[in-house]
Structure 1
């Protein structure tokens, strides 16, 4: 009897439910429901609308009743670092604040006054980014300490959705490591660090590994959907799930989406001074492997450019316009804080080019070409750092995620890294294999 599984993948710009099953040993996938996700501003704070997202998950699951196909299991992944705090009655104490919210401005430096940067990296192995969970929690401690005191449960976004499905509260391993509060060697919450920062250590739940069966749906959901199924933890950090699909062995990968995650899989964490200086992360992966990677700016920039042009151009049209602007060579530092959440991405790009005395992009094609040039340049730097840390050359680079469909960007990556670039998730039939020009 065929068993059907549902994968729910939610990113910063949208989500989808995918039905998967095996047919003659071949994995078959079918998209069931696709929906939008975006930040909203509530009382000057940028937040996620989790109730709406969970409703979309249920909308997708209800479709199975219509087609008389009952899935056997479900698992959910999302982006990392963001979370909810629940009170003793399991009600959210705050909105689901986005990592792009400015509440963490300057907080990382305040944390360094209590615990050194070197100790943080040696123990957690996580890249320093001002929006990491550790700094979000510390900003709450500074501004609203009573919220932390009331918190009975700390749940990251996919943990919260799994709680809504089952009524069970756990913290999944791969996403928990992104908090910068998990010890890279013990693979447990670093309670010494948590206590040093004065955070509520009782709100953190038991860390569970991917493939853990949480149980079945809560009774009220069974009544609403008309069927039951198992809830199984995937690697709930979307990158943790994505890199499992990398087809090429001994290759650097780029998980290309709103963010670009560039790295390799490794058996052990690399918490060296060189890795810290290059700001690489040792994120927990499946079966206690580590994703040694750097989190770089990704297609968020072109998403914002598209929005700033009032969605006049599709992503495909922006790529073609960039291709026509082939002579435009301007490059910005995509990892500069000015591009994290600007009021207007196009203006920010133009201002950066003006300040750095480069040609200023004035038409959509030049703006898009500047974004793609700049992303490729940041990848080149990260690739060189990886090869320096591992003291070896990698000949292959595998691009996965939505960005693998951008053939122009893939070619630019091949050109600047001088590597063979594979685009797509099928080893037998890659979407593209590009040799640098």
Structure 2
């Protein structure tokens, strides 16, 4: 059978990439053909994404993807995943009518505080959507947009979340994807359509949204790129975390907890039902959905954003792999910090100086800040490890499940100090995989849609034969 070629457009908050997947003899090989930076930019008092630049990079990457194939071969499909919650507002002609804000923009704080201070409404919205009140939610963003710019309800006719928007630019078809819809705090946790109660509370026009499509839907051929004229746009799970979870070589009998470690640490597991109730709400359990409809309860832990921003305070920050390895090795030789930081502290969301925020947090606990970068590395890794362990413990209590191992992907899986800290704190072995989890899961869902692979379980079984994880066992 001839090889099958697919392209994954995988957009993250700090970088994007286009990766070609080749499926041959029941094995997937990947080739990164284009990588580019991405960043939030500030204008006045607000934060935005440069959507025009991102689209230009996507086009460049797909052109390179087509050019990378053997002579006579074509890309069978393309799928897009991005970070969650952010969106584009369009008119009937598909033109943007409002700038695309970045999720870290502080404009949502008033709406967030209002909901948090109204217990009955907070419980009601959580029961309806299964998503906790967090400042970055699409619900709060859209509510602020409508409140601050009332005329937008006359200008905008559709709301497309970012993977939906890039799918539209590629295919010309406007749809809302199911997985990305579940990140918004607007989807009905018990169904497959939008929650009217949530839409009414946040005053989001229902006409802006259409019933979400499930993963595997074929949206049409690529338009505007002649070299991809025969390429089908497939709706993959638009949320990059959902794609990363699909790439996990999970045991078919269960027992795995998943950790996608990057800017955010997303700790969760797959379940047949949502995790709801007052305790789940207090723990900020988000009942995200897979693209197929199952539940993926998870908790957002702030993640390596702590380290990324702390590095800003040090002129000699590592840039090469060997420099990173040297920093991690130096941090590992230091004694364990006597006082960890609480990674759930909202002060770490987007401070002007992360180092100053950490120092103030420690001083409030009567602890001394580290003296050097290696000390901050050790402190952050140990604190994140404890944060991961706390979430795992709560999930075992809420679900009645017993987890046997942690499957870890993402940039953090390359950090042996973080992996070991997670194993030590949780008491579970950590299986760290070196793979582009979001892109792999993106490609897996394309292959299933093309009927090259039977289902996700079959893909995971095949992938597990190819991967060799680094296993970190709990110390002591």
TM-score (ref. length: structure 2): 0.87
**Change beyond 3 A, Cα 1:286–1:200:** closer
Correspondence for 1:228: 230
Superposed CA RMSD in Å reads: 1.9
User: How far off is 1:127 after superposition?
Assistant: 2.5
1:422–1:430 Cα contact (<8 Å) kept: no
User: How far off is 1:15 after superposition?
Assistant: 1.0
1:114–1:196 Cα contact (<8 Å) kept: no
**Change beyond 3 A, Cα 1:4–1:65:** closer
1:107 paired residue among 106, 111, 116: 111
User: How far off is 1:362 after superposition?
Assistant: 2.1
Correspondence for 1:348: 357
1:321–1:368 Cα contact (<8 Å) kept: no
User: How far off is 1:149 after superposition?
Assistant: 3.5
Q: Which moved more, 1:40-49 or 1:234-243?
A: 40-49
Q: Which moved more, 1:137-146 or 1:375-384?
A: 137-146
SS at match of 1:171: coil
1:81–1:179 Cα contact (<8 Å) kept: yes
Query: Unaligned 5+ residue runs, structure 1?
Result: none
User: How far off is 1:70 after superposition?
Assistant: 2.6
Correspondence for 1:398: 407
2:260–2:266 Cα contact (<8 Å) kept: yes
1:350-373 Cα shifts (integer Å, max 9, x gaps)? 111111111211211111111111
Distance 1:282 1:373 in 2: 27
SS at match of 2:318: coil
1:329–1:370 Cα contact (<8 Å) kept: no
**Change beyond 3 A, Cα 1:63–1:100:** same
Query: Unaligned 5+ residue runs, structure 2?
Result: 436-462
Correspondence for 1:433: 471
- Does 2:198 correspond to 1:193? yes
Correspondence for 1:324: 333
2:332–2:378 Cα contact (<8 Å) kept: yes
Correspondence for 1:29: 30
1:330–1:360 Cα contact (<8 Å) kept: no
Distance 1:326 1:24 in 2: 49
1:93 paired residue among 97, 101, 108: 97
1:64-83 Cα shifts (integer Å, max 9, x gaps)? 45444531110010100111
User: How far off is 1:90 after superposition?
Assistant: 2.1
SS at match of 1:369: helix
Distance 1:148 1:321 in 2: 55
Distance 1:91 1:278 in 2: 39
Distance 1:64 1:399 in 2: 28
Correspondence for 1:158: 163
Residues 245-256 of structure 1 aligned to structure 2 (within 5 Å) = 245-249=247-251, 250-256=255-261
SS at match of 1:279: coil
SS at match of 2:356: helix
Aligned residues: 434
Correspondence for 1:79: 83
Correspondence for 2:421: 412
1:193-244 Cα shifts (integer Å, max 9, x gaps)? 31343221211123111111000012x333xx46431000111101111111
Distance 1:398 1:185 in 2: 28
